[in-house]
Amino acid sequence: MKKAIAAPASPPAAPASMLGANLAFCQRLASLAQESQARWAELGQRIWDEHAHFCQAAFAPLPETPSWKTLAPALGEAAQRQWQARLNAAEAVTHAALSEQATLAAGLSEAMNTWQHDSACACNALINVPAENIWTAMAQQMTSSAQPQQASGERHGS
């Protein structure tokens, strides 16, 4: 007599949803990194364009003369404007760093909250213990810990 071979059991649905939660979390982190990279690239391009425009504008009106006595005041003024432009660029980078930190903290908090909720649902499907309460408490703690950074970013114009 042949014994009936049982078909392999299909994997439970919960691990797939846990995998989905992890995948969605990783995709959100990648998206946050790409958005941040785009903002930094835009800032760098803007600063570079302003610098190139400034250099052209600063040196275009200089007289073409071999006399240092004629050029010295114009070069001094150009150097002073260049210093001010670099100071403004440093201020823009500092502002962007603070704003970016707040944006990334808020995005990470949102991604973690979503992941924790999705993970809790997957855990609840796996076992009969309601794990969502633990995850909800952790999500609330993470949200409250990110609020000071978000408030700091809002104060700095993010």
Domain-by-domain residue ranges, the chain?
A: 41-59+71-155
What pLDDT score was predicted for residue 53? 85
What pLDDT score was predicted for residue 54? 79
Task: Return the half-sphere exposure (C-beta side, CA atoms, 13 A cut-off) of residue 22.
Answer: 8
Give the residue with greater pLDDT, 68 vs 153.
Answer: 68
Query: What DSSP line would sit under 14-78, residue for residue?
Result: HHHHHHHHHHHHHHHHHHHHHHHHHHHHHHHHHHHHHHHHHHHHHHTTS---S-HHHHHHHHHHH
Query: What does the pLDDT average to over 140-146?
Result: 80
Answer yes or no: are the C-beta atoms of 58 and 78 closer than 8 Å. Answer: yes
Query: What does the pLDDT average to over 10-21?
Result: 59
What pLDDT score was predicted for residue 31? 92
Q: What is the pLDDT of residues 26-85, one digit of tens each?
A: 999 999 999 989 988 998 898 888 888 877 777 776 667 677 777 777 778 878 888 888
What pLDDT score was predicted for residue 51? 80
Q: What is the pLDDT of residues 88-135, one digit of tens each?
A: 888 888 888 888 888 888 888 888 888 888 887 777 665 555 555 676
